[in-house]
Structure formats: C-alpha cells, structure tokens
Structure 1
Amino acid sequence: MLLVIAAFAVLLLMGMPVAFAIGISGALFFVQNPELPFTIPVQVTVSQTQNFALLAVPLFIMAGNFMNRSGITERLLDLASILTGRLRGGLAQVSLALSALMGGVSGSAIADAAMQTRMLGHEMVRRGFTRGFTGGILAFGATLTPIIPPGIGMILYGTIGQVSIGRLFAAGFIPALLLWVALATTVWWTAAKRGYKPEREKSPAAAEVGRALIAGIWALLFPVFLLVGLRMGIFTPSEIGAFAVVYALLIGVLVYRRLKLRGFVEGLESSLADVGAVMFLIALSAIFSYGIVMERLPEAAAGWVTGITQTPWLVMILIALLVLAIGFFVDATVLIIMLTPIFLPLMRQLGADPVHFGIIFILAATIGNFTPPVGAAMYAVCSILRCPVGEYTRESLPFLGAVTLVILGLVFLPGAVLFLPNLIFG
C-alpha cells in the first residue's frame, strides 16, 4: 500500500487531475496483488455509483445552479448589505453575511467563493482593500457554506459513514454562526488597524430591513423546508434533493420570474459539468478505498492513534490537525471520501458522537480548499482578482487562525453542535 500512496502523491505533484491520480494509484494495488481478479476495479467503480443515497448529490448541485440563476443571489446580497453594512470593514462584512445566507443555496464552498469574488471582489479593491485581504476574506468566508444545509460534504460523509444526514444538516447552524462571529471579529480588528470604513453611514430603518427580509425569504426558508421535510418523514435525503430542484424551478419561474429558458439550459450545462466531476471522483475513489480496506489501514490508524491516547477529545484534535495538514495537498471532497472510513469507526469505538465528529471533520477538510499549494477555491479567487498567491497566503493567515480556533473550540463544545439535532430529531 505504500507504493499506492507514494504513486498518488507523485501523480498529484505532477499536476494530474485528482480523480485520475486516485484511480491510477489505486489500480497499482491490484498490480501488486495478481491473485486478485483485475475485474474487481471495474466492479467496485460501477457499484460505487449505484448507492441510492448518493442521488442527493447531483440533485442538490442542480438545485443550487438553478437557484443561482433565479435572482435569489441579488436579493440575498441586498439583505446582507443592510444587515452588516454598518459594521467596520464594509464590503468584507457584507461578504461574510452573504456567505452565511448563501450556504443553503450553493452547497459548495468553491462555487460560493468564486461567485462572491465575481460579485464583490473588484469593488472591494476599488474601495481600498488590498487584493490579498479581499481574496482571503472572500475565500475563508466560504467555510460557512459546507456546514449549512445542504452542504455536499455532509451528504458524502453521512452516506459513507451511515450517519443521519438530517442530524448533520441541523448540526451545522450553530457552528456556522460561531465561524461567522470569529471571521467578522477578525475583519473588524483588521479594518480598525487599516482604517477600512463601513459600507453604510447609518443603521438601516426597520422598514428597510423588513423589505429585504421579504425579498430574500424564499432562500432563507429553503434549509428550513429541508429540515422539516426530513424531520416529519416526508422525504428521504435523496427525495429531498428532488424537492430542492422543483423548489428552485418554482421560485425562479413563478415567484421571481428570472429563470428563463436560457438560464434553465445554462443551469443544466453547469450541473452536468459539476456532477460529472464529483461522481467521477467518487467512482474512482472506490478503487483506492478497496486497497485501504484490504490492507486493514483503518485498524492500523486506530491502533496508532489509540497508542498515543484514548481520550476522545484529544484523538479528535489529533485527527483534525492531521486532516488540516493533509488538506494542504488533497481536495476536501477526496479527504471526506477517503478518510471517513478510516477515522469514523475509530471515533465510534471511543464513544464520540458521529455527528459531532462529522462537523469538525468536514470543516477541517474544507480548509484545504483555501490554502496552498492545491486549494481550488484559492486559485479561483486569486485568478479572478489577479492576486499573487503569496500575497493571498500572507493576508489569509488571520482568517486561517480564526477558523482553526473555532474548529478546536467545537471539540470541547459538543453541545453547540448537537443542540439543534437533539432538539429537532430527539
């Protein structure tokens, strides 16, 4: 298995797409073990795509693409500006509010970071924000996205680990709020040092806030409908993905009347590309995972960690730090697919709640999207802003520190993660 892992690392460093690097390196395990039929890689690749629960992934991706073309984004931006525009930091604070509001729409941290950069990035630079600071806050603000329903990472983790997706959805709200507060405080502190001004000079009137809330109400109700549907047993996680698509179409066509035929076709094209990339990665990861299971790596990892300590909170911190380190080189989706079967059984063995661990694990994995050398969201943001990666990295360190502190804090605050799941689902 060492040859497989080494080949995977070399292929990544060569710049090979992650899906091919996983598939090719995973196939080497069967070359090393000729007694295994070489039909197994084909069988496990096909069977991986037959998981019914994974049907939620393409459906939520499609729903997000339709909602982004329905006029919801502009209304949420207006609401975010009204709610936070008076805070020191101006558009940087607005971007954080928009990330929180957009979490239930896009479901993807990379998509959210790229979208906000196109919407706000150049305007922030024109108003005096440095390119590095602008890129840092627009990227790290998207850490809220994967833990606000319907985050794709939650669906993957829940499906692979047999964890209630409804409980995961409910568990994300309070940690997302804590992340928002930590990042907003960091923005406020930086803005105070550099003299960045608020976006609005006066606090909004109640009537203005009310109008903005009404305009964005359909997007705000979306995650609520998801949780109610799951709690009442109306939908399964896969069925609620289909509901999300229908909901997005109805809002875009009948309520806001912004989703026309051209936008519908563009949404289908974007969804096809996004779903193809994600599902291809999931399918080929089965080849890699087969070798991991055969070589009993989960048991070996569990033995190594428990050899250091058997204290659940300390093990959780070690795993979070390890995932953070690996995330510098491996995409978050890959980490969730590959490491969930390794670490989740260990945490269950130690008595940790899988939902509590899942939120920490997903957040730690997501940070890799925003850090060099392979952060997809980082490159998207820097490309749009024409910002050097070095400047982005330097200016992003305070945001990285804030997010890391929240993740470590959640280890000791399981009640903050489990309060809503226990309240809603019992």
Structure 2
Amino acid sequence: MAEILFPALFILLALGLPVAFAMSIAVFVALSFGSSYPNLVVVKEMFSGLDSFPLLAVPFFILAAEIMTGGAVTMALLRLAQSLVGHLKGGLGHANVVSSAMFAGISGSALADAAGPGSMMIRMMEKGGYDRSYAGALTIASSVVGPIIPPSITMIIYAMQDQEVSVGSLFMAGVLPGVLITLLVLVANGYVSHRRGYVSGAPMPGLAEIFRIFVYAIPALLLIVLIVGGIRFGIFTPTEASVIAVFYALVVGMFVYRSLRLRDLPQIVLRAALTATAVLLILGAARAFAWVLIIEGVPQFLAETIIAWDLSPIVFLLAVNLLLLIFGLFMDPLPGVMILVPILAPIALALGIDANHFAIIVIVNLTLGLTTPPVGSLIFVVSSTVKLKPSALIREMPPFFVALFGALMLITFVPILSTWLPGVSGF
C-alpha cells in the first residue's frame, strides 16, 4: 500500500487539496487498490484518532485565544510591546516580534499569531514607512514562536504520540527556545532596519508610562502564568487548564477590559469552531495515514535501518533536521508530528537523546515548514492579509531564514536550552 499511498498524497497536494482531504483520499486510494481491507477502516481510524480526552484541550485553547483576542487583549499586548521597544531603530518591527512572543503565550498557534497581532502590526508598520512586503515577511518569521512558547497545540499532540514526555514538560522545554527564536528574529529585524533606514519616530516613554501600560496588560499576561503554573504544580491537567483558560478569558474580556459583549460570543465561538474543526480533521486524517504506515511496517523498517547504520547522536540529529525540513516543505506540523514521531522518537531514545530535547527539535523543525514554500501556511495567511503575492513575501525572507535556522542549530546542539527548565521544574 505504501507504494500507492505516498504518490497519491503528493499528487493530491500538488493539485492544491487541503492536507486533511489529501491524506484521507490517499488512504482510500491505497486501500482500494493495494489491499483487501474495507474502506470503512479509514473512518474507524479517523474517529479513533479523535477519541482522546487530552485532545479536548485543543478546541478549548483555540476558543480561549479567540475570546482573549475579542476582549482587547491583543491591543494591550501591542501597546506593551511598543512601549518597550518601539523607540529603537526598527522599533515597529521589534514591537511586531515582541507582541507575537507575548501572544504566543495565549494562542498556542503560529497562524493565530499571524492573523491576530500580526495583521494589526503590518498595518502599523506600513503607516510607519516600512515596505508592506517586509512587514509581512517579518510577521511570518515572528509568528513561528506561536507553537514553541507554551501553551502549544502542537506540544499537546506530540505528548500523545510519545509516552516519554508530558504536556507539562514540553511546555517548560519550549520557553527558552521560544525566547531564543524571538531574540534572533529581533537581531535580523535590527540588521535590515539599519540597512534600510527604518527609524522610529516615537520617543522613549517614561518609566511611569511603561509601568502604567504594563499594569494594564497584566490580566492578559497572567493567563500564561495560570496555565503553566497550574500544570506545573499539579493543580489541574492540560485539558482542565484549557477549560479554565476559557473562563478566565471570559472574565477578563467582560469585566476587566470590558470590551467583550455577550452579543460577540456567537461569532467568537463560530470562529473557534471552524478553526478547531480544521485542526481535528487534519489529526483524524493523520491517524488514518499513520495506521497504513504501521500496517505496512514502515516505522519498524525505518527504525531497524537507521539503528543498523550505527549513527552517533549528533549525526542522527543532523539527519533528522534534514528529513524534517524537507518534510515540512509539503506537510503541516500536526500531521507531521502524528506520522513521524512514532518512528523517530524511539530511535532518539535508544541513542540516549533526551526526550524533551528531541521533541523541541521536531516541533521547531516542523513549525519552520510553515514559513517555506510550496505549502507554507503562514505565507498564504499573511499574503491574504497584506494583499500581496506570496513571491513578494518570500523575497524578503532570507534574513529571517538565517535567524530561524540559526536558532534551530543552537537548539539542536545546545540541549540545555530544552532540558534545563523541565529539570528544575521537577519534570
């Protein structure tokens, strides 16, 4: 079946079908022409992939992010970011990056980062004299931290595929890599801003003004502390944390910022439902796709082959980086995690590679695929936002590719970035 499955998948992706439909149809084709299994197995496996209590956290975290965005949280974070770095050369670009890092602690999604604060910052940067295509490219790069800084939907899915890690340990493991990516994208923006003369016209605010803006943003920032702290100290599970995040977002939006009204909720719930449905369709299709690979013995064959090569851990990680970067060109992170982690994680464990370290390498690798053509979802989301062709955005990406891939190499070869916080946190 595998000899039919992969060609069918690539042909369907090349025709422009959404990933979920491409994988589902490819599995149907493989079963119809390469096996005696009934096609009903596909439906069964898709439902089995979604029949999971921890998976309930995904739609609730998506809903919490939508409520917080509707409750003026995005503007509070933008104002805080601008007060901290807006006066520097390339200040609006720096504010874009910092606000994305802050919003990542709420959304858990790169696409939500780009569509939320990213779209607002693009408009602000264009008014401030930045090229629209550059503002869009910077937003693509800054949104990468969405699935890295906790909470992260991708980490929840990863923990379901690898029993050696927990959602809590991955949340802690992602903090320093997320900060590293943010810092290197800031450096890239500073370099480009210096060369192009993107100066800030905003004066540096006084300490009193910064403190006032910070206090206003505290309710938004506390959501991150609530989620990570509650999971760390065993107060609630990640699934329970997602529900608590929804109620916290409602209270903050309606009674603290007072910008969320009851009549807004149906539209917010509808947007969250559509996003969650798209994510769950991908996960269900990926489960069916992975089932075919398991039936065919592909994971076992690859594992035995790689172990027989007797690779050192460093060479293995370099090979994994190359494989995942190529895989990310054609596949979104969530199906990538469901298909590849059951194959690669046991090999990494056998080679003595820390499970949290390897998980962050995989997640960062696959997330970078959102920034690369031909299937880079961030490119198309931002392209529709700025009304520019994807090619115009891609031409502005090289400085950010250098920053992002530099961060990936540091994360790969400096394990303490991913292992220190889980260790001191007791995971």
- TM-score per shorter chain, which class? over 0.9
Q: How many residue pairs end up in the alignment? A: 425
Q: Do 1:27 and 1:287's aligned partners in 2 also have CA atoms closer than 8 Å?
A: no
Equivalent residue number for residue 55 of structure 1:
56
328-337 vs 283-292, which deviates more? 328-337
SS in 2 for 1:259: coil
Q: Do 2:74 and 2:116's aligned partners in 1 also have CA atoms closer than 8 Å?
A: no
Equivalent residue number for residue 347 of structure 2:
346
CA distance in 1, matches of 2:156, 2:384: 29
Please, what TM-score do these two structures have when normalized by structure 2? 0.95
Letter in 1 for 2:202: R
CA offsets, 1:209-247, max 9 Å, x none?
A: 211111111221212211221122211111111111111
CA distance in 2, matches of 1:164, 1:251: 29
Letter in 2 for 1:148: I
Equivalent residue number for residue 71 of structure 1:
72
369-378 vs 76-85, which deviates more? 369-378
Query: Shift in Å at residue 61 of structure 1?
Result: 0.7
Equivalent residue number for residue 125 of structure 2:
124
Q: Do 1:84 and 1:93's aligned partners in 2 also have CA atoms closer than 8 Å?
A: yes
CA distance in 1, matches of 2:405, 2:156: 23
Q: Do 2:118 and 2:143's aligned partners in 1 also have CA atoms closer than 8 Å?
A: no
CA offsets, 1:78-121, max 9 Å, x none?
A: 10001111222121100001011101112110121122343121
CA distance in 2, matches of 1:199, 1:94: 14
Equivalent residue number for residue 170 of structure 2:
168
Letter in 2 for 1:190: V
Residues 309/83 of structure 1: CA separation in 2 closer, same or farther (3 Å cut)? farther
Query: Shift in Å at residue 306 of structure 1?
Result: 3.9
73-82 vs 225-234, which deviates more? 225-234
Letter in 2 for 1:238: T
CA distance in 2, matches of 1:414, 1:117: 30
Unaligned runs of 5+ in 2: none
CA offsets, 1:153-197, max 9 Å, x none?
A: 111111122321001111111111111111111111111111110
CA distance in 1, matches of 2:387, 2:208: 39
Q: Do 1:104 and 1:219's aligned partners in 2 also have CA atoms closer than 8 Å?
A: no
Equivalent residue number for residue 185 of structure 2:
183
Q: Do 2:104 and 2:147's aligned partners in 1 also have CA atoms closer than 8 Å?
A: yes
How many percent identity over aligned positions?
34
Query: Shift in Å at residue 33 of structure 1?
Result: 4.8
Q: Do 1:88 and 1:197's aligned partners in 2 also have CA atoms closer than 8 Å?
A: yes
Letter in 2 for 1:409: L
CA offsets, 1:280-328, max 9 Å, x none?
A: 1111222111111112222222344445552113212221222112212
SS in 1 for 2:55: helix
SS in 2 for 1:216: helix
SS in 2 for 1:147: coil
Q: Do 2:96 and 2:118's aligned partners in 1 also have CA atoms closer than 8 Å?
A: no
18-27 vs 330-339, which deviates more? 330-339
Equivalent residue number for residue 26 of structure 1:
27
CA distance in 1, matches of 2:239, 2:264: 25
CA offsets, 1:253-285, max 9 Å, x none?
A: 221121101221111001110111111111122
SS in 2 for 1:242: helix
Letter in 2 for 1:76: L
Letter in 2 for 1:196: Y
Unaligned runs of 5+ in 1: none
Equivalent residue number for residue 153 of structure 1:
154
CA distance in 1, matches of 2:292, 2:248: 41
117-126 vs 311-320, which deviates more? 117-126
Matched, 1:36 2:37: yes
Q: Do 2:168 and 2:228's aligned partners in 1 also have CA atoms closer than 8 Å?
A: yes
Query: Shift in Å at residue 34 of structure 1?
Result: 3.8
CA distance in 2, matches of 1:208, 1:337: 47
Equivalent residue number for residue 145 of structure 2:
144
Q: Do 1:117 and 1:385's aligned partners in 2 also have CA atoms closer than 8 Å?
A: no
Equivalent residue number for residue 396 of structure 1:
397
Q: Do 2:100 and 2:118's aligned partners in 1 also have CA atoms closer than 8 Å?
A: no
Letter in 1 for 2:420: F
CA distance in 1, matches of 2:60, 2:161: 18
CA distance in 2, matches of 1:200, 1:307: 60
CA distance in 1, matches of 2:233, 2:125: 43
Equivalent residue number for residue 277 of structure 1:
278
Equivalent residue number for residue 370 of structure 1:
371
Q: Do 1:309 and 1:315's aligned partners in 2 also have CA atoms closer than 8 Å?
A: no
CA distance in 2, matches of 1:95, 1:110: 15
Q: Map of 1:268-417 to 2, 5 A cutoff?
A: 268-308=269-309, 310-417=311-418
Equivalent residue number for residue 205 of structure 1:
206
Q: Do 1:132 and 1:396's aligned partners in 2 also have CA atoms closer than 8 Å?
A: no
Equivalent residue number for residue 108 of structure 2:
107
RMSD: 1.6
29-38 vs 69-78, which deviates more? 29-38
Residues 199/290 of structure 1: CA separation in 2 closer, same or farther (3 Å cut)? farther
Residues 318/62 of structure 1: CA separation in 2 closer, same or farther (3 Å cut)? same
CA distance in 2, matches of 1:324, 1:34: 31
CA distance in 1, matches of 2:308, 2:87: 52
Residues 190/13 of structure 1: CA separation in 2 closer, same or farther (3 Å cut)? same
